[in-house]
Structure 1
Amino acid sequence: MFADRRVGVWFIGARGSVATTAVAGCAAVAAGLHPPTGMITETPPFAPCGLPALPSLVFGGHDTAACPLPKRAEELTAAGVLPHGLAPAVRGELTAADAEIRPGGPLPGDTRTDEELITSFAADIRRFTERNQLARTVVINVATTEPAPRADDPRLPPSSLYAAAALRAGCPYVNFTPSTGLRTAALADAAGKCALPHAGRDGKTGQTLLRSVLAPMFVQRALSVRAWSGTNLLGGGDGAALADPAAAAAKNAGKERVLADVLGHTPEGEVHIDDVPALGDWKTAWDHIAFDGFLGSRMVLQTIWQGCDSALAAPLVLDLARLVARAHEAGLSGPLPELGFYFKDPDGGGPAALPDQYAALLAFAARLRDAR
């Protein structure tokens, strides 16, 4: 086991809110400045699994943005995402991670072919692993959601270029976004032959997390759900990106899957996503559930979830980096449906109800514990 060996975490979207919060949070928890709230891998069932220690994680990544991580951390502090005093306390770790970030793409005017971009990105990842003498590197996509590609598009979407680069560099891959990533016919053969573990898609941090808990309750209590509608109000980069109907459709597909899989049908109602720039990194998710009780009595349940996406996502991203790295070390390959606990639309399928997913995750922890 390599609990004392250094492991790379290569973020796609490395200067975004989630990646910045993950880097700062890892440093804070490793130094004992804050407890590991929200990190499932820091709970007792995962202690004997041989996961890489938090201080052993080395961060880098690709991004098209130029704002350095220490400055980005200051912005997140001003927005209330990071606690005051944390950014200066972990400035050294933020600066070190920022030095390992390379330009992403393709940017407007970039004339490189898909093959040239994949080759360049893979070389960046390999050099990062070699330069830092890492046991392995896990590539994690936390970039802004992209629209689903058109069937006649001759180019791969950016998320798939990075996914292909991860495979070529020999790195496990995690897609924490609703973007295409490995879910394209062009990468199916490569993903199947690479003997690398991968997990995704679309991290489950708020509204869908609650749906995956409430939907089983209705089924188990034999209550008939007639309609389930939702609204999301959010700002920041995600709010702007999801103002695009095509990007919003990619995001909502996972939310709908949870209800259909658990309830056995798709209830009436839709999810609306509204961009409210003033909210910044904070979001409000509202659900309205209409259901029938005994003798046809009509009832309603309403929920409101208010939270900070970056603070909800960052501990899950750190969990996934550690779990997938350990799975790679244990010789596992292909999709990891046992990590469906973290996703709206898990690679490899599996149950959609959170209790069932948590049971599968605990079984996976036992498997890692027993691996040599």
Structure 2
Amino acid sequence: MAVGLHALATEIAPPTGCATAGDAFGWVPLPRFADLVLGGHDVSTVTLAERAAQLADSGMIPPRYVAAVHDELKRDDAEIRPGYDPTRHAGAQIDVVRRLAADIVSFRERHALGRVVVIDVSSTEPLPADRGEYSDPALLAAALADPRKAVLPPSAVAALAAIESGSAYACFTPSAGMGLPVLRDLAERAGIPYAGQDGKTGETLLRTVLGPMFTARGMRVLSWAGTNLLGGGDGATLADPEAVRSKLASKTRGLKSLVGEHVVTPLHIDNVPDLGDIKTAWDHVHAEGFLSSRITLQTTWSAYDSMLAAPLVLDLARLLALASATGQAGPIAELGFFFKDPWGSDVHDFAQQSTELHEWARSSATVL
């Protein structure tokens, strides 16, 4: 994403894959790519420049782009602060929230930015167990101040820091983030626009296009089985059965809403280290047609998943900046276009999501 941002800002690469660069957004007053300033929090000690070089060596990013934006990546690295690792923090979580929020405010003031958008692209976490603190502000405040407790998962700590700093927020992963009821309530009270959840990049994108086709043509889908093969960091993270549970849930929920709760939807995500950063998704659809005739569809989608995700992160930054500039707060349902499990919306049909996003953008533009 960082390499792409600078390549687009300096116009050495076209904005292929960025929805907001299309004609439908031509007159919407979005920030230019050159207006975006990158900073953040990370628990990794690998710099952006080092990681970009690794991705170039793997074949994901053309080396010429990495070389062209090397100086910009070094400047970005200077804007990245230590993230929150619960295994290394012994104090109260409220201290972490305040530190992260202060970093965001300092970043905004140092660069004289009109607004900041916080986007969670961290590794997928296990789903947290239900807790009273997740719906009661008083209980949450007390737990956050107790150094003996780590009541919030790291993604939710980062989301709370976004709220405390007055920043718009998007959850690009299936982790808890701002999905906890108490944080959503706090965000809306603070006038924070937010969007989520879990970026829709490949297999699920295809499902939300094909699923409505079966329904519209009166076909009855009986089963929709899927297998995902991937390596790299995502493959290693999702090899954890607890971490993968949230990913499987978000990928399946939208499909059932499109083709029916009766549909059998087995789904597997397998870590295949030698595939590196290339993700391959295979689907087998079994449906019933006229006079019980059999219909079978098989699809194979193979791509660098991170290269599908990166332009969506840039799109979300631009669109949430628009939402913030126009005084919107709470879940921006129309940004469900980008997510597997959209907050504030039950719409999963991609064509309908596209229409709603374009209408929202035009309506928001008229406010400015």
Q: TM-score range by the shorter chain?
A: over 0.9
Q: 1:179-207: CA deviations, max 9, x gaps?
A: 00011134243122111100000000000
Residue 38 of structure 2 aligns to a residue in which SS?
strand
1:276 to 272, 279, 283: 272
| CA positional deviation for 1:350 | 3.3
Determine the structure 2 residue equivalent to 1:309: 305
2:207 to 176, 196, 211: 211
How many percent of aligned residue pairs carry the same amino acid?
47
Write the distance in 1 (CA, Å) between the matches of 2:256 and 2:14: 36
Structure 1 residues 225-236: aligned runs within 5 Å? 225-236=221-232
Determine the structure 2 residue equivalent to 1:334: 330
Residue 265 of structure 2 aligns to a residue in which SS?
coil
Write the distance in 2 (CA, Å) between the matches of 1:60 and 1:269: 39
Partner amino acid for 1:283? K
Q: Which runs of 5+ in 2 are unaligned?
A: 132-148
Determine the structure 1 residue equivalent to 2:339: 343
User: What is the aligned length?
Assistant: 351
Q: 1:68-110: CA deviations, max 9, x gaps?
A: 1111110000111111211110011111111000001124231
- TM-score, with normalisation over the residues of structure 1? 0.92
Residue 33 of structure 1 aligns to a residue in which SS?
coil
Structure 1 residues 62-81: aligned runs within 5 Å? 62-81=41-60
User: Given the alignment of the two structures, is residue 195 of structure 1 paired with residue 191 of structure 2, yes or no?
Assistant: yes
Over 3 Å counting, the alpha-carbon distance change for 1:186 and 1:114 in structure 2 is farther
Runs of 4+ in 1 over 6 A off after TM superposition: none
After the TM superposition, which of the residue ranges 274-283 and 352-361 deviates more from structure 2?
274-283
Structure 1 residues 37-186: aligned runs within 5 Å? 37-151=16-130, 155-186=151-182
Q: 1:324-366: CA deviations, max 9, x gaps?
A: 0011001111100011110011110131100000000110121
Write the distance in 1 (CA, Å) between the matches of 2:58 and 2:39: 24
Partner amino acid for 2:42? D
Residue 37 of structure 1 aligns to a residue in which SS?
coil
Write the distance in 2 (CA, Å) between the matches of 1:211 and 1:266: 16
Q: 1:115-173: CA deviations, max 9, x gaps?
A: 11111110111111111111111000011111101235961000000000000000000
Alignment check: 8 A CA contact 2:184 2:330 kept:
no
| CA positional deviation for 1:294 | 1.2
Residue 85 of structure 1 aligns to a residue in which SS?
helix
| CA positional deviation for 1:38 | 0.5
Write the distance in 2 (CA, Å) between the matches of 1:280 and 1:371: 45
Write the distance in 1 (CA, Å) between the matches of 2:91 and 2:182: 18
Write the distance in 2 (CA, Å) between the matches of 1:148 and 1:233: 22
| CA positional deviation for 1:264 | 2.9
Determine the structure 1 residue equivalent to 2:366: 370
Determine the structure 2 residue equivalent to 1:224: 220
Over 3 Å counting, the alpha-carbon distance change for 1:188 and 1:317 in structure 2 is closer
Residue 41 of structure 2 aligns to a residue in which SS?
strand
Partner amino acid for 2:336? G
